[in-house]
Chain A
Amino acid sequence: MPRIACLAAHSFSLAARLRAEPELRGESLAILHRDGTMERVAAASRPARRAGVRPGLTLPQARALLPDLVVRHRDPICERAAQEALLEAAEGFSPRVEDAGEGVAYLDLEGLDRHFPGGSFELDLGRSLLAAAAAVGLPARAGIGGSKLAARVAADLPDSPVVVPAGGEAAFLAPLSLDRLTPPAELDATLRVWGVRVVGDFARLPEDDVADRLGRAGRELHAAARGIDPRPLIPREPPPTLQEGMELEWALTALEPFLFVGRGALERLCQRLESRGLACARLQLDLRLDPEGHLTRTLDLPAPLRDPKALLTLVRLDLEAHPPQAPAVGFTFTAHPGRLRETQLSLFGPAALSPDQLAATLGRLAAIVGPDRVGSPGLVDGFLPERFALDTYAPPAPPEAPCEPRGGSGRFTVRVVRPAVEVEVITGAGEIPIEVRSESSRGPRIQGRVRTASGPWELEEGWWGEGAAEREYWDVELSDQGIYRLFREPESGTWFADGIYD
């Protein structure tokens, strides 16, 4: 006999909206949905319900009851994100979770009893489920039973969690109102005429007679009333990406208001990633523009991270560089998950950087200087001194035992001038430089008479293809106290400074 739990978010459209806009908690809020040409209340917060605002009222009717009513429309994007968050909370308990939509998830409880060793395993599990749903910002109810139907009905009852004893589904349903089984409207009207109000009364009617008079729908409802639900649990495959976003009530033209609402979405996204032990390897932003069109930006992160502040800064920089051409009326952040880097810690050797902290630091640095200006220096084949590569920074684990620091090499080195600065060089006999002046305001100012010169050192590279370089290098000590590395391009006769000995 299977055991199934149902986790159901109460007033789902309202709960999803409050999850996306937590500042509306405590307000008189109504969620509207479009019904033909009319807008009707789909759900209302407790303060609004106290004032008489009920689902089904039109907006003018609701406003007449409560002039200060805050109104939001149903938002499929934030409802989808809330549904995913609910499913992820359920997947924290069971690998077999069915997505039933509209704030409902079913869990297969097989094998979970060993994780709740107390005598009341199902009750403890139900309480844990409620806590997990609350942690993702969705107040929910839980019911546990032998079928999806029993669990769903139990989840609708107050004093959650409600556990239906194994084999006791029919007895559990019997005293409940027939409305709990949500009969089709036509069938419901017929049963009311018959005077059938509770499930038990209907279940006691002969099955064949019910089928004769009410048809297939009646037979199915009768089976449900007897606690029979043949529907199996259909586990879902978790999606490869995580999304958060919302439709905006007003079109946004400025960056700051967008970042304000975007911050909340990124925080929720990072919370979901953290609950799954993942981080964001690539972040995609889809902006829906007014009146039509989309802008999609993709940010490849230097390392998987889940720091909303760093992600927000990266989004800000990217949107400053690529502003949308029209106001935004909705947005979705899509996180492509990746694993945080792991490092083996050492007991006596130097402490390793925390992978989580390192990822956040790399993200912040990329936001400050740009992603292409931070990384691990890499070597490139060739002789041109300005060449370099910037690799992803992933330091190896520190040694297990501390290494004694190596003695300093006491080596002089060159500070590369990148890119090389064009200089004017006056040469004397034998083409030896005797005076150097930099002509450009860009880069270090170089000016002075040559005290000592050494060269030329010829360098030729890439003569076989494009990007060929031919240079004659000189080391010169100038009267401005600097020792420079200059080169002349024989073809053009132009001089450059590409390094300062330092």
Chain B
Amino acid sequence: MRSRAVAAVKDSAAALERLRPLMPQPLRIHLHSARELGAKRTEETDDRPLATGLPLDRLLEGGLPRGRMVEVVGGRSSGRFAAALAVLAAVTGAGEAAALVDLGDGLDPESAAELGIDLARLLWVRPANLPQALASAEALVGGGFPAVVVDLGSPPVRGRNAEAPWLRLARAARAHGCALWIGSPYRISGTAAAAVLRMERTSPAWDQDGACRLLAGITSEVVLEKLRGQGVRRTETLQLRLEDPRVRLGIAPSERSNDEEEILRSATG
């Protein structure tokens, strides 16, 4: 009997060693026996913030916190939508499912794919008004999506707003460990958000390509206004570059005719 028990322990140790290369780094180092696997795995994976790779991570202490609502406020051309798509690219790139509740119906799938979003892992919901957007977000959070981005589009936000649904949504995110990103043109979620970021465009960059002027991107200032319910004020600079519009529109520069060159020259001065 004793020899069988010893053999079983040896087998499990051998199996653990075979699994070790597949484990995430912290688990690989700290796991001593198969028995610790369940508890350690939960410890190591469940609370890690979702890193976006943008300077926002420094403001949010590592990335988008799981189980918390983060509200990102930004006017037109502030880079708010690009930041939201960067979050989706990071989440889907890590192999997780993500959802975009797109009240403004502004997603261009081709641009999204170019930004690195794995479209197969992205669920795109196109509500018609704010109550639909809130109900959709609640269904997604309750449905186990690890990351949900709600983008409320450009002002005016369609539909009446009240604070109670936002509080309910924040509670649902906490209960399900969902990283919830709310992108809005103005502060909308009241006291529900655990962190509030404000994005303000400082200046657009225009490149000169010979006689042709091209929009190159923007520089945006990201201000952390609230973190874990406390008022704070920290700032980071976010630089967002744009792809060559000729490539974007499928017009390779080499394909331009002499007439087109002439038009461009005269148009852009």
Contact = CB atoms under 8 A, between A and B. Distances in A.
Contact of B214 (A354, A398, A408, A454): A454
Interface stretch (A82-90, A100-108, A163-171, A373-381): A373-381
Interface stretch (A26-34, A188-196, A231-239, A343-351): A343-351
Interface in B18-58: 19, 22-24, 27, 41, 45, 50-54
A202 B114 CA distance: 88
Contacts of A361: 139-140, 142-145
A400 B145 CA distance: 18
A184 to B, nearest CB: 61
Given A353-B143, A374-B124, A377-B122, A413 B50 contact: no
B80, B139, B212 interface centre (most CB from chain A within 10 Å): B139
B243 interface: yes
B240 interface: yes
Given A361-B140, A417-B106, A369 B132 contact: yes
B154 A444 contact: yes
B162 interface: no
A388 B245 contact: no
B77 A459 contact: no
Given A373-B127, A452-B204, A414 B251 contact: no
B76 A408 contact: no
Interface residues of B, number: 96
A378 B119 contact: yes
A68 interface: no
B53 A408 contact: yes
Given A377-B119, A377-B124, A444-B155, A399 B215 contact: no
Contacts of A362: 123
Interface stretch (B3-11, B87-95, B189-197): B87-95
A33 B13 CA distance: 71
Nearest to A390: B124
A156 interface: no
A415 interface: yes
Interface string A472-498: 010101001111000000000000000
Contacts of A411: 82, 86, 114-115, 240-243
B157 to A, nearest CB: 11
B14 interface: no
Given A368-B135, A457-B249, A457-B251, A412 B51 contact: no
Contacts of B155: 444-445
A412 B146 contact: no
B23 A348 contact: yes
A462 interface: no
Nearest to B56: A408
Given A348-B23, A373-B127, A502 B79 contact: yes
Given A431-B267, A502-B80, A473 B249 contact: yes
Contacts of B50: 405
B229 interface: no
A482 B76 contact: yes
Contacts of B41: 347-348
B96 interface: yes
B165 interface: no
B237 to A, nearest CB: 11
A406 B53 contact: yes
Contacts of A444: 76, 153-155
A430 B267 contact: yes
A416 B123 contact: no
Contacts of A364: 139, 143
A390 B96 CA distance: 20
A416 B268 contact: no
B158 to A, nearest CB: 11
Contact of A374 (B90, B125, B213, B269): B125
A404 B63 CA distance: 13
B107 A369 contact: no
A468 interface: no
Nearest to B206: A452
Contacts of B80: 502
A431 to B, nearest CB: 7
Interface in B139-195: 139-140, 142-146, 153-156
B89 A402 contact: no
Contact of B77 (A354, A369, A416, A483): A483
A385 interface: yes
A477 B143 contact: no
Nearest to A350: B96
B30 to A, nearest CB: 14
B75 A481 contact: yes
B260 interface: yes
Contacts of A380: 109
Given A378-B109, A459-B251, A481 B76 contact: yes
A501 B109 contact: no
Contacts of A415: 81, 104, 106, 153-154
A206 interface: no
A405 B93 contact: yes
Interface pairs A-B: 5 shortest CB-CB: A361-B143, A408-B53, A407-B53, A415-B106, A482-B76
16 contacts: A350-B96, A353-B143, A353-B145, A368-B132, A377-B107, A396-B121, A401-B22, A402-B94, A405-B63, A411-B82, A411-B115, A413-B111, A430-B269, A432-B269, A453-B267, A500-B77
Interface of B: 19, 22-24, 27, 41, 45, 50-54, 63, 74-82, 85-86, 89-91, 93-97, 104-116, 119-128, 132, 135-136, 139-140, 142-146, 153-156, 201, 204, 206, 212-215, 217-218, 238-243, 245-246, 249-251, 260, 263-264, 266-269
